[in-house]
Amino acid sequence: MDTSVARRNILARIRAAQGRPAEPAASEREAAADYLARHPEGPRPPMPDDLVARFVDEARRMSTTVEEINTLNDVPAAVHRYLSEHGLPVQAIAWQTLRDLAWADAGMTVEFRKPEDPDLVGITGCFCATAETGTLVLLSGPETYASAGLLPETHVAIVPASRIVAGHEDAFRLILAERGELPRAVNFVSGPSRTGDIEQTIVLGAHGPYRVHAIVVRGA
């Protein structure tokens, strides 16, 4: 069952137990929207005018490596360069939304499918990114599978500069504005996975990618 359908069914049962209709009336929806519009935000840190520069700085603080390029056409060569410089295979799986890029011309072998155990490199785009914490925001969908950025040891993310917003509040606002509701999974990725469980020593790659590389596209 689709997750959004299951969620609506659960909420309908809760409303029924409260003696209310399964679906909220238009007036109830309007009242909720009005409350959200009037609800004051909590304090937020000041943001610079250049959100791209702030994102790059904060991402690097979180152990994400970053390269800035000019256009989407430069993406395949940038990915190949990063993988080659780090002695990583130039074979990868990727989101289907990246199918139209000239991967083969750059010497890359890319399959557009969900990752399997042997896959070492996953390439994704992102819905947006937040400058405040250097975080990637990934939404799941039929062509943007969440596992592509979670299972391979190396996660390469394509970040259009125009999709960098100030903070998480702005990211959620953008999701609701463009999608209407949350998808099955929303992943906030702030650098490689890590743990400090053993003697409070930070270890990367504990339960996800060992490395995250963001390619910021200035002209996108």
- List, for residues 115-124, the tens digit of each pLDDT value: 999 999 999 9
Could you read off the pLDDT of 179-209 as tens digits, one per residue? Answer: 988 888 999 999 887 666 656 666 555 666 8
Give pLDDT, residue 72: 96
Give pLDDT, residue 164: 98
pTM: 0.83
3-state secondary structure the chain: CCHHHHHHHHHHHHHHHCCCCCCCCHHHHHHHHHHHHHCCCCCCCCCCCCHHHHHHHHHHHCCCEEEEECCHHHHHHHHHHHHHHCCCCCEEEECHHHCCCCCHHHCCEEECCCCCCCCCEEEECCCEEECCCCEEEEECCCCCCHHHHCCCCEEEEEEEHHHEECCHHHHHHHHHHHHCCCCCCEEEECCCCEECCCCCCCEECCCCCCEEEEEEECCC
Which stretches of the chain score pLDDT less than 50? 1
CATH of domain 51-217: 3.40.50.10420
Give pLDDT, residue 45: 87
Give pLDDT, residue 195: 63
Q: How buried is residue 183: exposed, middle or buried, by Cβ count under 10 Å (0-12/13-18/19+)?
A: middle
22, amino acid identity = A
Termini Cα distance of the chain: 35
| Distances, alpha carbon 136 to alpha carbons 17, 56, 123, 182, in Å | 39, 11, 13, 16
* Longest CA span, the chain: 63
- Specify the domain boundaries for CATH 3.40.50.10420 within the chain: 51-217
